[in-house]
Structure 1
């Protein structure tokens, strides 16, 4: 593992504007070593070959990561668990030659008392955006996998994806996805015409049984990620909504006692845009408090915003602007305490693209941004992921070198943010 110096003060940010970012190797760090202030510790990764699309999920002291490796036309879905300061041997979950592999619409993973669920997308017809959302389930009761379970019941050759998952009860999961069954008469990804993209959800049990699916919103943005958290066992879904006048702001839906409340707008950015920006929100919670992070370019001013809720996501406070430079969005967020969030995003400086993280407090104060890595503005770099375990922020992202893609992982002690 190598230590990298990163931006830790406003002075460094000013310097970066006039000169290129420099990340210097300084020492070898052994497991358990005390970290110097403002350091990113790179980890030895479990992925190999042409790997991308990482997704992180934290359960107690276990950190899960799923990803996809591609070789010729074959796509293989893996996951690994990080414990005792290292990634375990990867588990080969499933593979296929007819999967839909997309930089923005990628597998989701969650765990619940050892039961594991991982989603993926499989083409259902020859259309560019005709694919099904499927899940693979591992049950601790049977010690076996059930694979290739279709989430939706419509049977249409349409788009189904952008899956998000949270644990429910002792062994179940609530799963939400974007569902294009009403768009089947349309031929383009924006789905203008007779029907709009919808948001659906359902409860999935570890044995593969499922409750009836529910339509949660009848008109949503076509290709932005959904995200979920859970407060007192009740899921809260965040997504990019879509009005008749093409305003695409961020909404949430609370699921209480298996019933969905009406959608609520987190903040009225009033971002009117004809097409999907492919830039979904993120959500996290700590006890009864919730935080949402998102990208907007309302009034042609791109920015990343973050808003806290102190009442289980029923209402949100005024948003806090996050980015310091020209931003690409691609956000993720976690909560370190009821009034502290850590957010990640991507932004540009000169000819470089940086993966940044920052600690943000509910009173509006912020730490200085910390650069995790230099990355790529290209779609192939995907959406970086963060998770928090034992006062350490873990980060996963896709490094791009020409046509080659590799997954990188690292951690930062929260006290150093």
Structure 2
């Protein structure tokens, strides 16, 4: 498909790429020998969940999470780590409030740009709404996360509707792009406004998403959910929204990866017949491409599975992992692109069968592809990691990282980073019914 979606000049300017950010060392041969998982002690307190794990341009690893304790307001925090110095002395707080939604599926995100700024995105429930009604909030810190004075609402409508499942990527030294799922179209009578000021984070309201009950049932549930995108500059000035897909899956995560040809997005598309396969789009030469299906699984399901794809990229090589039931059984698949997402290889089966959960993460360090995923049987959940050769033709190793005390959606979604021949992994566990973040370094 070569059709393109034109982007207004404001958005095109906001999404202009700094291609040098994509420059990486050439791929090395797959690492030999066996790796092992070591405990990586995290700075998050008991009650923490919904992690995000990203790398800053200066090489630091950034970990964010929500601390949710009975009788307390929810707190969004982060910390930074280097192999040489460990964790910074004290976690820093980004936002606090009962309206700050604590959801493992619709987790916050953190991003660092080359100007030294930090950006944070989270979901904030609407005090005048109910259930899943929430807004996507974006904040920026100019002082390393000590203060977050800049704040705005990403969705520019006031519709009592679901917004979320966002993905972030840098568009220059001091700007970013953001994609999210937007439910405003189900309420044509909703008024819209331009958000001029920061939303209140102290409002008392129930969480927009509980860890359970995330699947939206029914033929018409979220039938008009849109995939939208926009750009924000260093002053949080926005461009104009672009609707990339007017009929996406309701609540599956979006993933973003940078390539030399532009940012690539992966999401779960949705046909009029409720076929929900994974699709990608890329921003290139001032326009977003039309969606392309990664693989025609033909998986038809009436309710959203809350299982979005995960992407990893280095140069023009892109790896995608996703969940499907195209074979009438749970299935996790991997596919590879060598042309920045124009086309993908025939999928490789990562895992299949009843124990497989649809929550996976992927990383690529040039030497090997790393994948993490969860399984659950009558004895409980297990967190797994596998290493593959860069062409996905050889599974190099499978590692059982941990037995997980959480059950069902309480274990959330693992996050994975890899570089320099090692990997870092974080996940949500449960001890005595209370959430707790755990981590592992996977080294040779």
TM range (shorter): 0.7 to 0.9
How many Å separate the matches in 1 of 2:221 and 2:64? 36
- Does 2:335 align with 1:307? yes
Scaled by the length of structure 1, the TM-score of the pair is 0.85
Once the two structures are superposed, the pairs formed by residues 100-249 of structure 1 within 5 Å of their partners are 100-113=101-114, 114-124=116-126, 125-139=128-142, 145-184=148-187, 189-190=216-217, 192=220, 195-232=223-260, 234-249=262-277
Q: Choose which of 43, 46, 50 in structure 1 pairs with 2:43.
A: 46
Partner of 2:75: 76
CA distance in 2, matches of 1:277, 1:252: 18
Distance 1:356 1:214 in 2: 38
Find the aligned partners of 1:142 and 1:211 in 2 and give their Cα distance.
Answer: 25
What's the counterpart of residue 403 of structure 1?
A: 433
Aligned to 1:334, the other structure's residue is in SS state: strand
Match of 2:6 in 1: none
SS at match of 1:182: helix
Cα distance in 1 for residues equivalent to 2:118 and 2:145: 12
TM-superposed CA distance for 1:49, in Å, is 2.7
Measure the CA separation in 1 of the matches of 2:234 and 2:38.
35
1:180/1:85 CA distance change after superposition, 3 Å: same
Partner SS for 1:277: coil
Q: Distance in 1 between matches of 2:78 and 2:392?
A: 38
* Shift in alpha-carbon separation, 1:143–1:401, aligned structure 2, 3 A: closer
Q: Hey, what does 1:385 align to over in structure 2?
A: 415
Q: State how far apart, in whole Å, the 2-side matches of 1:183 and 1:310 are.
A: 38
CA displacement at 1:299 relative to structure 2: 3.4
> Are the equivalent residues in 2 in contact too, given 1:225–1:239 (CA < 8 A)?
yes
Give, in angstroms, the shift of residue 238 of structure 1.
0.4
Query: How many residue pairs are counted as aligned between the two chains?
Result: 377
Identify the range of structure 1 (88-97 vs 354-363) with the bigger mean alpha-carbon deviation.
354-363
Structure 2 contact 222–250 (Cα < 8 Å) conserved: no
* Shift of residue 143, structure 1, vs aligned partner: 8.2
Match of 1:341 among 359, 369, 375: 369
Query: Relative to total residues, which structure has the larger strand share, 1 or 2?
Result: 1
The answer as to whether partners of 1:63 and 1:389 remain within 8 angstroms in 2 is no
Confirm whether residue 371 of structure 1 aligns to residue 373 of structure 2. no
CA displacement, residues 103-161 of structure 1 (integer Å, 9 cap, x when unaligned): 21110111112211111111123310110000111136998533441001122111000
Offset from partner CA, 1:272-292 (integer Å, 9 cap, x none): 000000111100101111111
Question: Corresponding residue for 1:63?
Answer: 61
CA distance in 1, matches of 2:288, 2:37: 40
- What is the rounded CA distance, in whole Å, between the counterparts of 2:409 and 2:227 in structure 1? 24
Alpha-carbon distance in structure 2 between the residues aligned to 1:312 and 1:324:
27
TM-score (norm 2): 0.80
- Which 4+ residue blocks in structure 1 deviate beyond 3 angstroms? 140-144, 188-191
Distance 1:233 1:75, change over 3 A: farther
Are the aligned partners of 1:133 and 1:150 in contact in 2 as well (CA < 8 Å)? yes
Distance 1:156 1:190, change over 3 A: farther
Unaligned runs of 5+ in 1: 1-35
Q: Residue 374 of structure 2 contacts residue 381 of structure 2 at CA under 8 Å; is this kept in 1?
A: yes
The structure, 1 or 2, with the larger RCO (C-alpha pairs under 8 Å, 6+ apart) is 2
Aligned to 1:87: 87
For the aligned residue pairs, the C-alpha RMSD in angstroms reads 2.3
Distance 1:135 1:318, change over 3 A: same
The question of whether the paired residues in 2 share the 8 Å contact of 1:129 and 1:189 is answered with no
Whole-Å separation in 1 of the counterparts to 2:106 and 2:396: 31
Distance 1:140 1:277, change over 3 A: same
Q: Secondary structure at the match of 2:393?
A: coil
Aligned residues of 1:44 and 1:87 also touching (Cα < 8 A): no
User: Structure 2 vs 1, CA of residues 380 and 258 (structure 1 numbering), >3 Å: closer, same or farther?
Assistant: farther
Which ranges of structure 2 fall in alignment gaps of 5 or more residues?
A: 1-32, 190-214
